[in-house]
Amino acid sequence: MSGLLLPIALPGREFLEKAIVSTWLTVPRPGSTVPHLLIGHGAPRDTNEDWYTINCRLRGLANGLNLQPVAGRTIHIGPRLNVQPEHPTLDYGHPHLLLTLPATTMRWREQAARRGSVFITLSLEPLRPGMKQEEVENCLRHITQTQRAYCGITAVRGGQ
């Protein structure tokens, strides 16, 4: 007996409400600040969720954003980020919904607008809400080594 295969479709509002999103800045060299965005999901929280279903929804989000597997070349995915409001939004390809980022710092929004782009990583491994910077860095190392992530660079939409 084979299991039910779920389509890799764009996730809806209910999934987005449970998404875990983290933003931070890195300074790879003096004078260069890079804004980052990590997107993922926590462990299943109710009987209607299992990790297979969550993974399908995460892959749908990656497809909608045109993110590529972390082992490949990081590509530009076009202007999908609006940093104007207090809660920036990310266009992930859904015809009616945007992914609303959690409250970000003014510095993150300013750096994203100044640089004109943000590096996105989508984790296929469970994330824990409220991770500290060291935990985020450990997570990024792990998902990169195990190739359980997708990534891309989004441009900031004009008029910022």
- Give the per-residue SS3 of 102-114: CCCCHHHHHHHHH
Distance CA 78, CA 14 (A): 25
127 located within any domain: yes
Residue 33: give the domain boundaries. Answer: 13-156
Instruction: Count the domains in the chain.
Output: 1
How much is the pTM?
Answer: 0.90
Per-residue tens of pLDDT for the chain, all 160 residues:
344 555 678 999 999 999 999 999 998 888 889 999 999 998 777 777 888 889 999 999 999 999 999 987 889 999 999 997 778 999 999 999 999 998 888 999 999 999 999 999 999 999 998 888 899 999 999 999 999 999 999 999 965 4
Distance CA 139, CA 32 (A): 23
149 located within any domain: yes
CA 74 to chain CA centroid, Å, is 14
pLDDT at 28: 86
7 located within any domain: no
